[in-house]
Structure 1
Amino acid sequence: MEYLKISWLHPFKDEPELLYSEIDAQRFESRKIEIYPDGSFGIASPQFHFGGTALSGLVIPEIEEFSADTQLISEQISAAEFEGIWNKYFNFLS
């Protein structure tokens, strides 16, 4: 698995500013969290989705492709960091 954090620099209040993705070996998303400027969020896995967030059906590009876009700040994060974010938002739904 690979874990990405992407900060999207934009002025839109109805678009996420932080995206966290868990990417499988075939480069498809297996879990995703989107966080909006007002603190609201969406979360998705193969079993469910919340807040309008859904997993992409497309192969996720390598991190270098995200870095080429000046509106995106992308970084690989650890599995532990992703799990911490996932649990924070997933447990909020419980």
Structure 2
Amino acid sequence: MFYVLIEQDLEEEDEPRHIYAELDSSRREVRRVEFYPNGLCFAYGGAYGRQEALSPAPYPEDLRTLNRPGEVEAHAITADVFHAIWGQAQERPDGFMGMFA
């Protein structure tokens, strides 16, 4: 497994600021957690299901190809960091629907 953090500094409020992804040996998403500037958190894959929301395209081996200076920065993270974030996602509202559950 590989683990990635994508940090986005975009003007759109409806775009996630932090995307944490767990990738399989083909570098395809297995689980993903998105954190938005308004405090919402969405999790996909694993116990959350919604695998259809995971990106079908593999991540590049060189994550720097995803970088756009001043907008997007992608880098590898450790499994421990991802698992801690995955655990936090379980403690937060699950997007809009979780707010009403």
TM-score (norm 2): 0.79
Q: Distance in 1 between matches of 2:58 and 2:74?
A: 17
Aligned: 1:3 with 2:3? yes
Which stretches in structure 2 are left out of the alignment for 5+ residues?
95-101
CA contact (8 A) 1:43 1:54 kept: no
Q: Which residue of 2 aligns with 1:86?
A: 86
Q: Distance in 2 between matches of 1:46 and 1:81?
A: 17
Q: CA deviation at 1:9?
A: 1.0
Q: Which residue of 1 aligns with 2:21?
A: 21
Q: Which residue of 1 aligns with 2:74?
A: 74
Q: Percent identity of the aligned residues?
A: 29
TM-score (norm 1): 0.84
Q: Secondary structure, in 3 states, of the residue corresponding to 1:61?
A: coil
CA RMSD in angstroms comes to: 2.0
Report the number of matched residues. Answer: 90
CA contact (8 A) 1:13 1:36 kept: yes
Q: Which of the pair is proportionally richer in helix? A: 2
Q: Do the aligned partners of residues 16 and 87 (structure 1) sit closer, same or farther apart at CA in structure 2, a change above 3 Å counting?
A: same
Q: Distance in 2 between matches of 1:46 and 1:82?
A: 13
- 1:66-92 deviation digits (Å, cap 9, x = unpaired): 13x221112211100100000111244
Q: CA deviation at 1:93?
A: 5.8
